[in-house]
Amino acid sequence: MPLTDYKVQRRIAEGRFGTVFAATNTVTGEAVAVKKIRARKNLPGLDFDPWYKSAERERDVLVAVRHENIIELLEHSVEPGGVMAILIYPFLAWDLATVLERHKPLAEGQTKTLLAMLLAGLAHLHGSGVVHRDLKPPNILVDGVSGQLKLADFGSARFVPGTPETPEASASSGDGLMTRDVCTRWYKSPEMLFGSVDYSFGVDLWATGCTFAELVSVAGDALFPGGSDLEQLCLIFQALGTPDEGDWPELRQLPDYHKVSFKPRAPNRPDLAPLASASAQDLLWSFLRLNPRQRLGAREARAHEFFLGGAEAVPAQAIVAGLVAETGHHQAETNEGSFSPIGLSEFGSDCSGFSFPAADVLERVPIETTTCGLWDEAAGLPEPSSEPPPGRRTPTPPRSGVHKLKAAR
């Protein structure tokens, strides 16, 4: 089907690598989401365009990986040397962050249903040799009618080098090392915070644990809401204790491990009751192990006792029953127009940052996902205060994904 057979209704999201629009298939009437990624010049030191490369990887992953709990790629226009990449998906009105916001606190039966679907999709993804690298509630979509959960936003995903499932073209592309410039900080694993470039599926398992923690939180809060990479490690070590080189030998090889010293600290895990039962907390902390090799895999997690006893899982439709009458969580815009491979008839985007459109935004401030930048400034582990100075800590991401910090500064 020609890409001109889609009519754009509004822009609904803008992320690191692209802009997403709600559109309609003019032939079938199907609601779809259109992701547009504009090609750019190669960055200094790189022989490829990382923005367009993300589209190629997203295409390759979603063409190879099909599962009911992974977003489906309906069509695409991603060609070598192209000026713009286009990827088209089914339109799903809700993301997990919004479902949690509207339904918090979740009952255990609701959490079981959502987590079971997340793990089913993740187990298939990992079984196919793919690591997502940016799992978080806003990147997990939920169908507003069926309640079906789907992993989405595969712009950072890639096949893990050296796994049997890795396609030959990807394995021979010469980019065996993994970038550290991925994953939103609050869901970033310790090895990534220490600069690892050979991490694997464990980074997704850590992010799953962080997401699970939000599902069982009374207020739906992030477990480790660090305002910097260094503070992120501080919060992690406050709960899990400082890492032991004997328990995690590979720690010594991480690029940034020796750039900062930490005071020894014993584990002090927060009690997540009453919403998190003993079995729920056992499963959660099985994902949040400092040593990535010790984290419970997605396939094994599906057989955990959390899913076998206690409250029964609810039907997925019941979770979105109160949401189906609404149009979804996206900010609507009045811009409309036909769609073509060179862009929109009325507006476009160069996809330059992490932001979502909102009429009342004073200043768009991204959630940082960059490499470590504070190690050389730190001589040791500061004791984080319970109330950080205003503007220091990244606030809880709002529904739109935009932080309004200008007025506070």
* Residue 40 is assigned to a structural domain of this protein: yes
What whole-number distance in Å separates Cα of residue 245 and Cα of residue 293?
14
Q: What confidence tier does 168 reach under pLDDT thresholds 50, 70, 90? A: low
pLDDT confidence of residue 226: 96
* Residue 70 is assigned to a structural domain of this protein: yes
Residues 286, 149 share a domain: yes
Instruction: Pick the catalytic residue from 60, 95, 134, 143.
Output: 134
Residues 197, 50 share a domain: no
- Give the CATH number for residue 70: 3.30.200.20
* Residue 166 is assigned to a structural domain of this protein: no
Residues near 42 by beta carbon (within 8 Å), at least 6 away in sequence? 48, 49
pLDDT confidence of residue 40: 63
Could you say which of 295, 319, 343 is where a domain stops?
Answer: 319
Per-residue pLDDT tens for 324-343?
544 455 433 333 443 333 23
Which helix (DSSP H) or strand (DSSP E) does residue 372 occupy? none
Residues 246, 191 share a domain: yes
Q: What confidence tier does 352 reach under pLDDT thresholds 50, 70, 90? A: very low
* Residue 283 is assigned to a structural domain of this protein: yes
What whole-number distance in Å separates Cα of residue 99 and Cα of residue 112?
14
pTM value is 0.78
Instruction: Describe the strand order of the beta sheet including 31-38 as a list of residue ranges.
Output: 75-77, 84-90, 31-38, 19-25, 6-14, 337-340, 343-344
Residues 118, 16 share a domain: no
Residues 285, 194 share a domain: yes
* Residue 390 is assigned to a structural domain of this protein: no
- CA torsion angle 390 395 401 403 (round to 10): -10
What whole-number distance in Å separates Cα of residue 316 and Cα of residue 366?
32
70 close to 121: Cβ distance less than 8 angstroms = yes
How many distinct helices (H) and strands (E) make up the chain? 10, 14
User: How many domains does the chain contain in total?
Assistant: 2
Residues 146, 34 share a domain: no
Sign of torsion over alpha carbons 172, 150, 191, 186: positive
Residues 192, 74 share a domain: no
Q: Which residue would you say has higher pLDDT here, 123 or 392? A: 123
**Domain hosting residue 193, numbered range:** 94-158+182-319
pLDDT confidence of residue 53: 80
What whole-number distance in Å separates Cα of residue 199 and Cα of residue 70?
22
Residues 138, 12 share a domain: no
Of 95-99, 331-335, 344-348, 377-381, which one has max mean pLDDT? 95-99
pLDDT confidence of residue 324: 55
Per-residue pLDDT tens for 15-63?
666 789 999 999 999 999 999 987 665 555 555 666 778 888 899 999 9
Residues 217, 231 share a domain: yes
Residues 239, 134 share a domain: yes
Per-residue pLDDT tens for 240-292?
999 999 999 999 999 999 998 899 999 999 999 888 999 999 999 999 999 99
CA atoms within 13 A on the CB side of 157: 30
pLDDT confidence of residue 380: 42
pLDDT confidence of residue 52: 77
* Residue 363 is assigned to a structural domain of this protein: no
Residues 205, 84 share a domain: no
Arithmetic mean of pLDDT, 289-314? 97
- Give the CATH number for residue 248: 1.10.510.10
pLDDT confidence of residue 315: 97
Could you say which of 319, 349, 380 is where a domain stops?
Answer: 319
pLDDT confidence of residue 85: 86
Q: Where are the beta strands (DSSP E) in 26-164?
A: 31-38, 75-77, 84-90, 94-95, 130-131, 140-142, 149-151, 158-159
* Residue 136 is assigned to a structural domain of this protein: yes
Q: Determine phi and psi for 271, rounding to 5 degrees.
A: -80, 120
Arithmetic mean of pLDDT, 296-304? 98
DSSP string, 39-59: --PPPTT-SS-HHHHHHHHHH
Residues 252, 110 share a domain: yes
* Residue 144 is assigned to a structural domain of this protein: yes
If we measure between CA atoms, which residue out of 70, 107, 123, 66 comes closest to residue 303? 123
Question: What share of residues in the chain are helix, strand, coil (percent, to 5)?
Answer: 30, 15, 55
Could you say which of 319, 349, 364 is where a domain stops?
Answer: 319
356 close to 13: Cβ distance less than 8 angstroms = yes
305 close to 279: Cβ distance less than 8 angstroms = yes
Per-residue pLDDT tens for 359-401?
333 233 333 333 333 333 333 434 444 444 343 333 444 444 3
What whole-number distance in Å separates Cα of residue 38 and Cα of residue 83?
6
153 is an active site residue = no
